[in-house]
């Protein structure tokens, strides 16, 4: 899987900014190669062999499809699949009685679902406060991330990472972590859980006893391929 991670970083960090000229160049090379093969007669010979032996040719084609379709669905499909989730903020008194809704698969062009109206319980109060906050940014031009990250002290000694107005590039095996550095270093990071959705506002409970001061950023990390998708440097206030 490290090979896929290295390939993903090569494509997203080094090649993606030049995607338009590279695409035009590849198309030009393919057209020229096709013309040369046609003029040399090699393409015609390949077609003739396939016609004489349709069985083996069909088996090769089916084997290729059987390999590429599942691999492409795993590696590429998550890039355009989107999901949305809205959870009540720990700054809201309704947070204490609210059960989060399931993640909803939806069209990325559709408006996000509304936050459910959950009235606070009679006489309930909340003393929750924001300890630190930051703005999300993508790891590179391809891996976008935007929105806000908040560390909220929901109750004395109990902390929640709140993602608000959040949106990130989707991918396989994504997790949300707290990092000890502002640039989202993986070493020493605290894993909070799988990414709940690509869009929306939702919460992650931070384990009791965690030294909040030791963490300087939130991050979205692809565990499978060891690729950083986005970070949110955290500052007090």
pLDDT score of 222: 92
Query: Residue 221's closest CA among 213, 229, 209?
Result: 229
CA triplet 230, 9, 196: central angle to 5 degrees? 35
pLDDT score of 163: 97
Contact 204, 160 (CB under 8 A): yes
For each of the chain's 237 residues, which pLDDT tens digit applies?
Answer: 556 556 555 555 555 566 677 778 878 888 888 788 778 887 777 777 777 877 876 777 788 877 766 666 655 655 668 899 999 999 986 665 544 444 444 444 544 444 443 334 444 455 789 999 999 999 988 889 999 999 999 989 999 999 999 999 998 889 999 999 999 999 999 999 999 999 999 999 999 999 999 999 999 999 988 899 999 999 997
CATH topology assigned to domain 83-236: Immunoglobulin-like (2.60.40)
Q: Domain extents for the chain?
A: 83-236
């Amino acid at each position: 899987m490290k090979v896929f991670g290295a390939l993903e970083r090569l494509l997203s960090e080094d090649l993606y900014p030049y995607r338009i000229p590279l695409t035009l160049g590849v198309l030009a090379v393919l057209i020229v190669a096709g013309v040369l093969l046609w003029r040399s007669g090699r393409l015609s010979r390949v077609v003739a062999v396939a016609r004489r032996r349709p069985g083996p040719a069909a088996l090769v084609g089916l084997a290729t499809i059987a390999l590429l379709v599942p691999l492409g669905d795993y590696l590429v499909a998550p890039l355009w699949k989107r999901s949305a989730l809205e959870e009540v903020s720990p700054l809201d008194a309704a947070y204490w009685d609210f059960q989060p809704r399931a993640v909803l698969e939806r069209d990325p062009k559709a408006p996000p679902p509304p936050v459910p109206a959950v009235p606070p319980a009679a006489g309930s109060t909340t003393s929750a406060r924001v300890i630190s906050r930051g703005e999300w940014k993508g790891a590179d031009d391809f891996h976008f991330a935007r929105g806000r990250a908040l560390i909220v002290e929901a109750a004395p000694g109990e902390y929640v990472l709140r993602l608000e107005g959040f949106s990130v590039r989707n991918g396989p095996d994504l997790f949300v972590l707290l990092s000890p550095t502002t640039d989202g270093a993986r070493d020493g990071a605290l894993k909070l859980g799988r990414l709940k959705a690509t869009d929306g506002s939702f919460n992650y409970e931070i384990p009791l006893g965690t030294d909040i001061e030791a963490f300087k950023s939130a991050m979205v990390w692809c565990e499978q391929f060891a690729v950083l998708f986005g970070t949110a440097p955290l500052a007090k206030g």
